[in-house]
Amino acid sequence: MAGDIDISPNRFARQLRWLSRWRRVVPLVDTLSTGSDRRVALTFDDGYRDNLTVALPLLEKFQMPMTLFVTAGFVDRRGYLSEEELRTLAGHPLITIGAHGLWHRHFNRITFDDARFELIESRRLLQEITGREIDLMAWPFGECNDELEQLSKECGYRAAWSVWQGTNSSHSRWRVPMGRKDNLFRFVAKATGAYALTKARWHRLREGKSRATLPATSWEVRA
């Protein structure tokens, strides 16, 4: 994929093996409570079909939970999960479904009304398909700001995940992105928080803010 935001099944399996030994992989909502420990949450974005065919068998093998942030408008497209598959996944004990916009638009570039429509419609559609409450979301491209975070609250979301943007507070959460170039050394740096601390500082500086806090160790494999 463009941006090297994919991971081979073999490498992913090795990473899960490392996590099974050194970290506690928990459902994403468990990372919303404070406390510094070895908790890690796994998330996948967009709703690709290989979440079902490739990732799930490996997660079942290691008995690790994951959250799938599904772009509601992409359901049933070629290469993406079908409605039927999404329904099945939503009922799986290891899986939580979250929203990821309706059409994967750049939220920083659209009008406030369009953003509201995206947030409400994607949630409504996913709830209709899965028959479950959807109250977690991830921003497409990780794009958000204070107004959008507030809007996502008003639209019924309990928390929203970016990559480095946002405040990394109780509602606005960061993730560490993973990709093809992550060898085990880089993976461990990311999984232990060392990478996040450095990268977060860099990002804050770039934004002209001096504040730097350690993000939760949850990440996005595909943005």
Residues 167-206 that bind Zn ion (CB under 5 A): none
Quote the least distance from Cβ 20 to Zn ion, whole Å: 27
Binding piece for Zn ion, criterion CB under 5 A, among 51-59, 138-146, 198-206, 207-215: 138-146
Pairwise CA distance, residues 77 & 140, whole Å: 18
In the bound state with Zn ion, the residue whose beta carbon lies nearer, of 122 and 130, is 122
φ/ψ region of 208 (left if φ > 0, alpha if ψ in -120 to 50, else beta) reads: left
Q: Does 143 bind Zn ion (CB under 5 A)?
A: no
In the bound state with Zn ion, the residue whose beta carbon lies nearer, of 46 and 149, is 46
* Contact call for residues 45 and 100 (beta carbons, < 8 A): yes
Nearest residue to Zn ion, by Cβ distance, number only: 45
In the bound state with Zn ion, the residue whose beta carbon lies nearer, of 140 and 215, is 140
In the bound state with Zn ion, the residue whose beta carbon lies nearer, of 38 and 109, is 109
In the bound state with Zn ion, the residue whose beta carbon lies nearer, of 81 and 223, is 223
In the bound state with Zn ion, the residue whose beta carbon lies nearer, of 190 and 222, is 222
What's the Cα-to-Cα distance from 28 to each of 72, 189, 209, 220, rounded to whole Å? 20, 20, 27, 12
In the bound state with Zn ion, the residue whose beta carbon lies nearer, of 64 and 70, is 70
Q: Which two structure tokens, joined as six digits, stand for 61?
A: 């093998």
Quote the least distance from Cβ 114 to Zn ion, whole Å: 17
- Cα pseudo-dihedral 26, 13, 199, 101, rounded to 10: -70
Report the chain's terminal Cα–Cα distance, integer Å. Answer: 10
- Cα pseudo-dihedral 34, 148, 115, 110, rounded to 10: -130
Q: Which two structure tokens, joined as six digits, stand for 100?
A: 């990821």
Instruction: List the one residue from 26, 45, 119, 199 that touches Zn ion (CB under 5 A).
Output: 45
Helix (H, G, I), strand (E, B) or coil at 33: coil
Binding piece for Zn ion, criterion CB under 5 A, among 1-9, 38-46, 49-57, 196-204: 38-46
Pairwise CA distance, residues 16 & 10, whole Å: 10
Instruction: List the one residue from 46, 118, 143, 149 that touches Zn ion (CB under 5 A).
Output: 46
Quote the least distance from Cβ 65 to Zn ion, whole Å: 20
What is the x/- site pattern for Zn ion, positions 96-115, by CB under 5 A? --------------------
Residues in Cβ contact with 74 at an 8 Å cutoff, skipping those fewer than 6 apart: 46, 47, 80, 104
List residues binding Zn ion (CB under 5 A): 45-46, 140, 223
